[in-house]
């Protein structure tokens, strides 16, 4: 035991509590025939909670954690504290990048050795913990070697380096029985078209992703490969802009049945969409995989990665997830960090407890809206014309015959209300 969380007790479901307890998240509560914990599948993001020093563009580290530094012993201390927090929270999952868990070596081989040592250490910790791996991923964006991209770098040696890192991260995810492997295209984008060969870079990104899928099958990894869309930051323009863009990219490279998406709330907003738009679109395309449930500040236009705190927004998001049948390998990852003034260890716990409660409230509201059924029956009624024999035949027809019948039958269609306010009032009964 470390003494980092020394006075913090295990967080329990205590609906009447005014202290650090779950007031809405009851892991064992049955919702639509399944335990709430198994629906929501919460995960802690290792990087924000344990590796992020608290910097902003105007100032550096604020957190001064005892495990900061580049040695294996400190990396192990970090892992010890992480698993103590997982236990305090009772979360079923966590997620990592290679760079969050291992010290950087002086060479590729040295970094790999450190990484493998830490994967063994995590495996040992996981064997006596309830907390398992939701996903692993590679950090191909922090080190200066990646400043012009990883798979899309003009230098083939960086492509090679990145491919080798991803191979190692996939091996590690497989070894730890992770349920997904994520690729967020950190610097897969550009700053200026004046120095960028768009055509080449997209081809390289496509081939890279095909190699990932080929390798998944080669090693027999049964998890899901997920791409995480984001429109900008750190690059001025990122290739995986949003769900629609990623889907087009997957189609182009023949990967639409192999790869799904990990959708982040804040990234959806940066792309000019709502979270539920991105989720609903992914579901309609059959590629909804997992979510990063962290919001941005609506004024800053930047990825501020804050814990969620808006129940109605969360409810509409889980409504889309539930309509899609819920998560299979995916889950709810808090890709969220504390504000840089929140220095106390207990702040880390409070951030996650609050987020889990907000999600539980939103989730229960979503389940109740679905159970009630009014929203779905009103939506169906709106399209009922298409379920008639004539409606179905229409899509098999052609412009000329349609035009002929429009005249012959003298149709006179009347506009009908979209009933948005009525629908919004229904939602408000549940949130």
Q: For Ni ion, which is the closer residue by CB, 78 or 97?
A: 97
CB contact at 8 A, 177 and 134: no
Contacting ligand XLS (CB under 6 A), which of 188, 292, 313, 357?
A: 292
For strands 34-35 and 30-31, give the pairing.
Answer: antiparallel
Q: What is the DSSP string of 183-244?
A: EE-TT-EES-GGG--HHHHHHHHHHHHHHHHHHHHHHT--SEEEEE--SSSSSSEESS-SHH
| Cα separation, 51 vs 181, whole angstroms | 20
Closest CB 6 distance from Ni ion, rounded Å: 31
Query: What stretches of 383-419 show up as alpha helix (H) in DSSP?
Result: 389-394, 399-409
Q: For ligand XLS, which is the closer residue by CB, 182 or 212?
A: 182
| CA distances for 73 relative to 66, 81, 102, angstroms | 11, 13, 10
Q: Tokens 């009630």 map to which residue?
A: 372
Contacting ligand XLS (CB under 6 A), which of 98, 179, 264, 313?
A: 264
Size of the site for ligand XLS (CB under 6 A): 10
Please tell me whether residue 201 binds ligand XLS under the rule CB under 6 A.
no
Contacting Ni ion (CB under 5 A), which of 119, 335, 336, 365?
A: 335
What is the number of the residue whose Cβ is closest to ligand XLS? 184
Contacting ligand XLS (CB under 6 A), which of 100, 228, 242, 276?
A: 228
Binding pattern for the stretch 241-280 against Ni ion, x by CB under 5 A and - elsewhere: -----------------------x----------------
Touching ligand XLS, residues 93-112 (CB under 6 A): 97
| Cα separation, 215 vs 270, whole angstroms | 32
Query: DSSP state, 145?
Result: G
Q: For ligand XLS, which is the closer residue by CB, 111 or 294?
A: 294
Q: Distance between alpha carbon 401 and the CA centroid of its chain, in Å?
A: 47
Q: For Ni ion, which is the closer residue by CB, 276 or 303?
A: 303
Please tell me whether residue 230 binds ligand XLS under the rule CB under 6 A.
yes
Please tell me whether residue 184 binds ligand XLS under the rule CB under 6 A.
yes
Please tell me whether residue 335 binds ligand XLS under the rule CB under 6 A.
yes
Please tell me whether residue 320 binds Ni ion under the rule CB under 5 A.
no
For strands 42-45 and 332-334, give the pairing.
Answer: parallel
- Binding interface with ligand XLS (CB under 6 A): 97, 137, 182, 184, 228, 230, 264, 292, 303, 335
- Binding interface with Ni ion (CB under 5 A): 264, 292, 303, 335
């Amino acid at each position: 035991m470390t003494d980092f969380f020394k006075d913090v007790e295990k967080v329990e479901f205590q609906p009447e509590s005014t202290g650090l307890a779950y007031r809405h998240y009851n892991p064992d509560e049955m919702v639509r025939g399944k335990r709430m914990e198994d629906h929501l599948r919460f995960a802690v993001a290792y990087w924000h909670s344990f590796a992020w020093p608290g910097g902003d563009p105007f100032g550096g580290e604020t957190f001064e954690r005892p495990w900061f530094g580049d040695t294996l012993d400190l990396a192990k201390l970090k892992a010890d504290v992480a698993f103590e927090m997982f236990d305090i929270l009772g979360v079923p999952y966590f997620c990592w990048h290679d760079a969050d868990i291992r010290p950087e070596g002086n060479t590729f081989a040295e970094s790999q050795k450190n990484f493998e040592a830490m994967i063994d250490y995590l495996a040992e910790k996981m064997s006596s913990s309830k907390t398992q791996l939701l996903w692993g991923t590679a950090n191909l964006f922090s080190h200066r070697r990646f400043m012009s991209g990883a798979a899309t770098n003009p230098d083939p040696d960086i492509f090679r380096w990145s491919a080798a890192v991803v191979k190692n991260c996939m091996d590690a995810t497989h070894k730890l029985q992770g349920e997904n492997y994520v690729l967020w295209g950190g610097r897969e984008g550009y700053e200026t078209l004046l120095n960028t060969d768009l055509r080449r870079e997209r081809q390289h990104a496509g081939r890279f992703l095909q190699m990932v899928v080929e390798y998944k099958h080669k090693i027999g990894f049964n998890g899901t490969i997920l791409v995480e869309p984001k429109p900008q930051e750190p690059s001025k323009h990122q290739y995986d802009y949003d769900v629609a863009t990623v889907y087009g990219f997957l189609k182009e490279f023949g990967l639409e049945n192999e790869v799904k998406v990990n959708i982040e709330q804040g990234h959806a907003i940066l792309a000019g969409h709502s979270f539920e738009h991105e989720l609903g679109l992914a579901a309609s395309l059959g590629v909804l995989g997992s979510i990063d449930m962290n919001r941005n500040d609506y004024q800053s236009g930047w990825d501020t990665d804050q814990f969620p705190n808006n129940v109605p927004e969360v409810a509409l998001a889980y409504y889309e997830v539930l309509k899609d049948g819920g998560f299979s390998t995916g889950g709810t990852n808090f890709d969220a960090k504390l504000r840089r003034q929140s220095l106390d260890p207990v702040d880390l716990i409070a951030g996650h407890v609050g987020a889990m409660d907000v999600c539980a409230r939103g989730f229960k509201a979503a389940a109740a809206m679905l159970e009630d059924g009014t929203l779905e029956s009103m939506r169906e009624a709106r399209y009922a014309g298409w379920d008639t024999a004539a409606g179905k035949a229409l899509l098999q027809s052609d412009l000329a015959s349609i035009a002929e019948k429009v005249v012959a039958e003298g149709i006179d269609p009347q506009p009908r209300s979209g009933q948005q306010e009525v629908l919004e009032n229904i939602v408000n009964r549940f949130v």
